Amino acid sequence: MNISFLPEKVKSEFLNLIDKIPLSAVRTNGNISGEPGEGYIVACGERLFVYTRKAGEDAFLKLAGKLGVEISKLEVRKDKFNSFLDINMDGKPYSIKFSSAEMKDLESLIENFKNAKPAGPAVPEPEQPAPQVSEERKAGIQMPSGIREHPAAPAVKLPLTPMQFMAAAMMYVASSDGSIDKDEDRYIMNVFGGSNDVLQPALQYYKAHSADQLFDFSPCLNEEQNLCILANMVEIAMRDESYHRVEQVMIRNYMEKAGISVDNLKAISSVLLVKNNLSVLMQ
């Protein structure tokens, strides 16, 4: 891809080098951990830079190194639908995914990088913008090991346990149409076995905070936890045999902040429709 199409947060680091040394870049398909997000590989002389961020994050995290120094492995491979860059950097293995459409540019970038030789003075480091700490980092998200980043603010812990988090999320969905009716209240109680250790902290948080404030912590949870919570949010939204727009908006908001795809939502909804279609058992 043309360097001019890089996001400003990435491109700004190379402005002092654009006219001094050949630069090439390619866009990744997802972040460095294989989660929803985006990333960019930039070859700058002898140095390779990896910029990556999860869906919903503002700041990029960065890896950088030289072949044979920080980088001990650099190989391109492909399957039927995707291409991958297998890289060992600072002793950590990564497998970065690309769409097949990027394969030609990726191979060209890696070939040029491997053949790059120092010419005169060492290539200067890209300019570093003023340190920025993402809201996700402030919320205590653990970043992939080996990634060099700007100094971060002290971590803030998840305000609830994952189980309490799910209970509060279900309360927000149930009350999105104005109030939690008796059937929804009873359903939430049954899901958590009436446990006060789960329900009371969740209720206290629900009364004191907005749904958005809770959902902002969703990146602190792992993928399986977020999918489980989403499934239960959809389940309670369907309790009254209707899926109100306000509930859909709330669930989509959670998906966006948790980095959950629409395909995952469709799969969950399909399974729940089959599960709750008890009429087939009356035949």
Q: What tokens were used for 258?
A: 């948790």
CB-based burial, 126-148: b 16+ in 10 Å, e otherwise: beeeeeeebebbebbbebbeebe
Closest CA to 128 of 271, 24, 15: 15
Task: Tell me the mean pLDDT in the region 187-216.
Answer: 91
pLDDT at position 94 is: 87
Confidence of residue 200 (pLDDT cuts 50, 70, 90): very high
Question: Around Cβ 27, how many Cβ atoms within 10 Å?
Answer: 18
Instruction: Assign domain 162-282 one CATH number from 2.40.33, 3.40.50, 1.10.3680, 3.30.70.
Output: 1.10.3680
CA distances from 211 to 69, 166, 205 (A): 47, 12, 10
CATH architecture of 3-122+129-138: Roll (2.30)
Task: Tell me the mean pLDDT in the region 8-22.
Answer: 76
Helix (H) or strand (E) holding 164: helix 162-174
Look up residue 196 and give its amino acid.
N
Confidence of residue 164 (pLDDT cuts 50, 70, 90): very high
pTM recorded for the entire structure: 0.46
pLDDT, tens digit, for every residue of 29-56? 778 887 777 888 888 878 888 998 887 7
Confidence of residue 118 (pLDDT cuts 50, 70, 90): low
pLDDT, tens digit, for every residue of 217-264? 888 889 899 999 999 999 998 876 667 788 888 999 999 988 898 888
Rounded distance, CA 60 to CA 178, Å?
Answer: 39
68: left (phi over 0), alpha (psi -120 to 50) or beta: left
Q: Where in the chain is the domain with CATH 2.30.29.30?
A: 3-122+129-138
Q: Where in the chain is the domain with CATH 1.10.3680?
A: 162-282
Task: Tell me the mean pLDDT in the region 123-133.
Answer: 47
pLDDT at position 1 is: 62
Angle at 279 between CA 277 and CA 283, to 5 degrees: 135
Rounded distance, CA 32 to CA 40, Å?
Answer: 10
Rounded distance, CA 112 to CA 155, Å?
Answer: 40
